[in-house]
Structure formats: structure tokens, C-alpha cells
Amino acid sequence: MAKVEGPLFSLGARGKIADAMVFFPWKGRHVVRRWLKPTNPQSTVQGYLRAALKAIGKFISIVGNTSVGDALDSKVYQAATSKATAGLNWNAWLGAGFLDALQAGNTYVTGSLTDMVDVYSSLNTTDLGAWASEATALGLIDFAFGYGYTTNIPAGLQLFFGAHACYSQSLIATAPYDTAVGSWVVADITNFAEELTTDA
């Protein structure tokens, strides 16, 4: 992206010239770039990634939601803000932890998402119930994505994904965060849910 001063002999410019260049302000600067026709192929892989990002986004909204308990003083929020990489917002950093859990060989693949869903689905009934009840209490709701991964993503699975983000980023050095999420028991799940809204 080129940085320009006084584009088109003016102090600022916005808009497109033919199908060649686009002028616009960006972070207080006037910039120009090549015009690209937006595409949205809605491929299967794109659908899988968007479904996964929607799920982790719903979890992250709980972490920073002041209407759910006192979330901004929560243990998870405090840890995420203090451990986030310099120049990166805590929510982007935490979301990157989930994407790292989905990544295989530097390529995001549909199998990684279904593998994580399979781990969740294979949990015993008691643990599944704990994930579901804690997620519902936090305000998470089931959803299904329109293409790609179209299977219902229940509230408990969204919370499970969030736990994977925390585990992947080594958010907190104590249990349950230092243990693979698939092996968490009811007490771990309950403590995790409490620490999303309180500084327990």
C-alpha cells in the first residue's frame, strides 16, 4: 500500500478511479492502493474457518462482557491482558491461541476442527453436561453456520473452544489451564467458568 501526500493535487482523496486505484484515509494518512474486486467464494474450508471464528468470538465476548458478572476483573481477562503480545489486543491474542490449536503444518484444515469436535463429543455424559450448563449460564447459545461446517455448534462446545484457546496460550500456569482440555473434569470446568467472570 502506497503512502501519498496530497493525492490528485489535493489534501485528501476518497474513492475509486476506474477499476485501477482506490484512495482512502487509513490511520490518519491518505493512502492509495490497487483496486481489487472483493470475492466471497464461500468455499467449504472458508466455511469451516468462519464457523470456528464465530464460535471463539462468542467465547471472547463473554470474557470481556461487563454485563456478565464483573468480567473485566476476571482472572481470565486479567491474565489475557497481561500476557498478550505487545501491540496485539488481548482478544486477538486469545483468539490466536484457538487458531493455533486448529493449525496443522501452517495450513488451516477442516479436519482439525472436526477432530476437536470429536474430542468434545466423546466426553462422558457428566462432563458434557458440565460444559453445557456452564456455557448456558454464561449466556452462550447454540448456532449453526450456513455453509462449510453446517453442524450445530452447541454452547458447551463454544466454551470448550475457549478453554482450548487458554490452554494453547498457556494463559495461567496452574490447573486446569496446564492440562489438556479433553481431560478436564467437572471441577475444572466449573472453576474455569467462574474465572471468566470473577477474580476467584
Query: Contact, 150 vs 84, CB < 8 A?
Result: no
The span from the first CA to the last CA of the chain, in angstroms, equals 47
**Closest to 62 (Cα-Cα) out of 187, 200, 198, 197:** 197
39 lies in some domain: no
Whether residues 58 and 80 share a domain: the answer is yes
Whether residues 26 and 90 share a domain: the answer is no
160 lies in some domain: yes
Whether residues 50 and 21 share a domain: the answer is no
Burial string for 96-123 (b: 16+ CB within 10 Å, else e) reads: bbbbebbeeeeebebebbeebbeebeeb
Whether residues 64 and 131 share a domain: the answer is yes
- Averaged over successive runs of 10 residues, the pLDDT of the chain (200 residues) comes to 62 81 86 87 89 94 72 85 91 90 62 86 96 96 93 96 92 90 95 87
What is the value of pTM for the model shown?
Answer: 0.80
* Total domain count, the chain: 2
Whether residues 51 and 108 share a domain: the answer is yes
Whether residues 14 and 103 share a domain: the answer is no
**Which helix or strand (DSSP H or E) is residue 191 part of?**
helix 186-195
Over residues 157-193, the pLDDT tens digits come to 999 999 999 998 999 999 899 988 999 999 999 999 9
Query: Contact, 14 vs 33, CB < 8 A?
Result: no
Q: What domain range includes position 107? A: 44-195
